[in-house]
Amino acid sequence: MLFRTHINTDKEKIQELFTRRIEAIFPSQEEAGKKLESGERLRVYLGIDPTGPDLHLGHTVPLLFLKQLLGLGHRPVLVIGDFTARIGDPTGKETTRKSLTNKEVKENMKNYLGQVYKILPKDSVDVEYNSKWLAKMSFQEVVELTSHVTVQQMIVRDMFQERLKNEKPIGLHEFLYPLMQGYDSVAMKIDGEVGGNDQTFNMLVGRDLEKKLLNKDKLVFATKLLVDAESGKKMSKTEGGLISLANSAQDIYGKTMKTVRDEMIGLVFELCTEKPKEWIRSKKEQGSHEFKKELAFELTRMYQGEEEAKKAKDEFERVFSKGESPKEIIEVENKGGVIQTSVAAGIIASHSEMKRLIDQKAVKINDKLVEKWDQSTQSGDIVQIGPRKFYRVK
């Protein structure tokens, strides 16, 4: 597939780019506007550390920004932090992040590109791995790199101040992480970088390094975060699980209905979909439950297609609105008890987890609550675990 290289300098579209998902621009929105209106084709990158196997809704915010840039004729770059993931980004962490092995990193990132290509078409984005340059640096080069930042620059970060106040350790390698991420910009001679606003410090280190080492002014776009208005926490992981791009249609639809708070629906629509703002505002008027169903359908459609989204919607209505059993239900061998049967079938990972779910009143047999751990199972029983897991006993 061929993508046009014509640079679109439409001020209205650039303004939409700057306001829909972006919270801050460095050095300024004015400077970024001049570059985007100049006709120069920019290369702007997003870095993702493979610290887990799936991309979630939080990742879609900068990815959709890159898709907007692509529509203006610029070139998105994806950097998979296969080296930096082994060290661990300290951003927002109250304790030192656990380092990952090379094997763990490779396992985590094996499905990343397939998920990214659900937003950015394969031929439209350059893909880099930062081990390509970071793994080759000599100790002398690392020492030289550290000379460009001060301890005072690092230690003033809120998270480090909190750890000092609470007498929690700060690893020296945690000071090196922003330098490594910053060096990505230098290695690629990049024009710009996009990331969540919690990454602003790291992105600005890269801007400083690129200015000092290459005399090049990098643009930095800090996106808005999916932050719960009540708790103040990022919505990357929420009660009921992660909304992942790799989830099934049923899971994306069901998790959206369960985990997105009513107050968050408009924000998720604006940051994580491509629906026009006017459409989003008009739909707010129909009530939060209907508005949320619109969101669940749109997210499912984006990552699993229109037909799968329709099926997921119908199934959700049947099971949760009408109280019926799912149309498609797996059958499993009877092992005599609900715990043994569920674990043997791989529905639940362990006996202890199943016991916990029973204690939390999350397990039903034939629509009756399971009260005891030793509850038996019979052929034909329909077992429900939580809101979305069903099976029939053979």
User: Which of 22, 197, 9, 180 has the alpha carbon at shortest distance from 86?
Assistant: 180
pLDDT of 239 above 60: no
The burial of 208, by beta-carbon neighbours within 10 Å (0-12 exposed, 13-18 middle, 19 or more buried), is given as middle
**Average pLDDT in the 349-375 region?**
89
pLDDT at residue number 221? 98
The CATH number assigned to the domain with range 330-393 reads: 3.10.290.10
Q: Where in the chain is the domain with CATH 3.10.290.10?
A: 330-393
pLDDT at residue number 225? 93
Residues with Cβ within 8 Å of 355's Cβ and at least 6 positions away in sequence, in order, are 339, 373
pLDDT tens, residue by residue, 31-74: 999 999 999 999 999 999 998 889 999 999 999 999 999 999 99
Residue type, 239: E
**Separation between Cα atoms, residue 187 and residue 68, nearest integer Å:** 25
pLDDT of 93 above 70: no
pLDDT tens, residue by residue, 117-141: 999 999 999 999 999 999 999 999 9
pLDDT at residue number 4? 47
pLDDT of 329 above 80: no
Looking at every residue in the chain, the average pLDDT score rounds to 89
In CATH terms, the fold of domain 11-223 is: Rossmann fold (3.40.50)
Q: Where in the chain is the domain with CATH 3.40.50.620?
A: 11-223
pLDDT of 307 above 80: yes
| Three-state secondary-structure class, residue 283 | helix
**Average pLDDT in the 248-276 region?**
91
**Separation between Cα atoms, residue 101 and residue 383, nearest integer Å:** 39
Q: Which residue has the tokens 């109250």?
A: 94
pLDDT of 234 above 90: no
- How does residue 237 score in pLDDT terms, banded at 50, 70 and 90? very low
Are residues 89 and 49 in contact, defined by beta-carbon separation less than 8 angstroms? Answer: yes
Are residues 46 and 188 in contact, defined by beta-carbon separation less than 8 angstroms? Answer: no
What's this model's pTM, rounded to 2 decimal places? 0.81
